[in-house]
Amino acid sequence: MSTGIKVLIAVFIVVAASVVAVFVYGGDQTISVNNIEKISTPTPKPLPEKLKNPPEIIKAVYATVWTASTDTQINRLIDLANKTEVNAIVIDIKDYSGKIFFETNSPLIKEIGSEEIIIKDLDALINKLHANNIYAIARITVFQDPLLAAKRPDLAVQSKSTGNTWKDNKGLAWMDPASMEVWNYIVTVAKEIDKHGFDELNFDYVRFPSDGKISDMVFPFYDATKYKSTVMKDFFQYLSDNLRKEGIKTSADLFGLATVNNDGLGIGQIIEDAALTFDAVCPMVYPSHYATGFIGLKNPGAYPYEVIKYSMEAAKKKFDALEVLKNSTTSPENIRNAKIAQMRPWLQDFDLGADYTADMIRLEKKAVLDAGFNEGWMLWDPRNVYTAGALDLQ
């Protein structure tokens, strides 16, 4: 090769490198050690902080993930909070499907494949709520989890008759509440959610299955010689040890009848066990969900004050008894050292059993107060459209 051709090739290489440098780095910059050192990974945005002055009395409304992820809809609830006594919003982050609605950094969650990113920017959502002084609560469905059951059928409730995964009346699968792997998964999910500034984690479906062919259920881990309430009590304590002791506020949703009954309701829910391990206990005292004949009422749904006051008075007796035990020198150390949970029931704002008017919802709130509790409530409407006039104005 002639010297002239070699020179031309060398010039071509230098020019090409310069063009690449300009294309990649912009301007008239050239690739050099100094320039490479200046190229750095953008500083990640800080994660949201929790609300600095959270309200002592929580008055919440429920929002589905679709409401939370749609600007017009979440702004409607924010406007409701800005105009009324509402100061908190409960948002589905892991619902009955088992899906987790934001992008996590958890290898375990990604292995399960439970992410469905509907909330594109969870941090922005929490910052918006906090900017409006709204307490943010993440709702986490626990043992009802069809997605996890499909991925890990060995951890799910099985069908005695078919040998396959058991399903309830809605066709949904459940995890065995005695599985330690499931417990670990739930704590992993909870900690991922907490990183994003939620002020509280609310655990729902913390129980054994109840709706379906119960006699057909087979549990791979639960020892049927034990009380179901013992399993749930241990799970409550596990959540407390791994979350509450790290400063993460927690609450638990229970059947409304847990306020009255003492037998675990066949699903393992004893309200006193929850009261010793969560920051708030949230019985679902929807009047429409009580059976015909409850306290002599043919249609309990039509008597919100009577049903809720009776339930809350029964709960008050149980909570008062816990306080006595807590102050007794002969009580176990875990009870003496426990902080008794707040009572914050779920109230009904949907038409079932009766057409729920503003007056009826106000009667629900009054019943809670008249029973001796003034620690808040949470209002449920599956459509997230709350009855005008039912809430006090600011």
Q: What is the DSSP string of 177-196?
A: TT-HHHHHHHHHHHHHHHTT
Q: What is the CATH number of domain 53-380?
A: 3.20.20.80
Residue 42 — pLDDT band, cuts 50, 70, 90? low
- Looking at the DSSP assignment, which residues form a beta bridge with residue 141? 204
Residues 139-186 have pLDDT tens digits of 999 999 999 999 999 999 999 999 999 999 999 999 999 999 999 999
**What residue ranges do the domains of the chain occupy?**
1-40, 53-380
List helix spans (H) across the chain.
3-25, 33-38, 65-68, 71-83, 107-112, 122-131, 146-151, 180-194, 228-242, 271-275, 304-326, 333-336, 358-370
Residues 288-317 have pLDDT tens digits of 999 999 999 999 999 999 999 999 999 999
> Quick check: 16 pLDDT over 50?
no
Residue 203 — pLDDT band, cuts 50, 70, 90? very high
What pLDDT, on the 0 to 100 scale, is given for residue 334?
A: 87
Residue 33 — pLDDT band, cuts 50, 70, 90? very low
pTM value? Answer: 0.88
What is the rounded radius of gyration, in angstroms, for the C-alpha atoms of the chain?
27
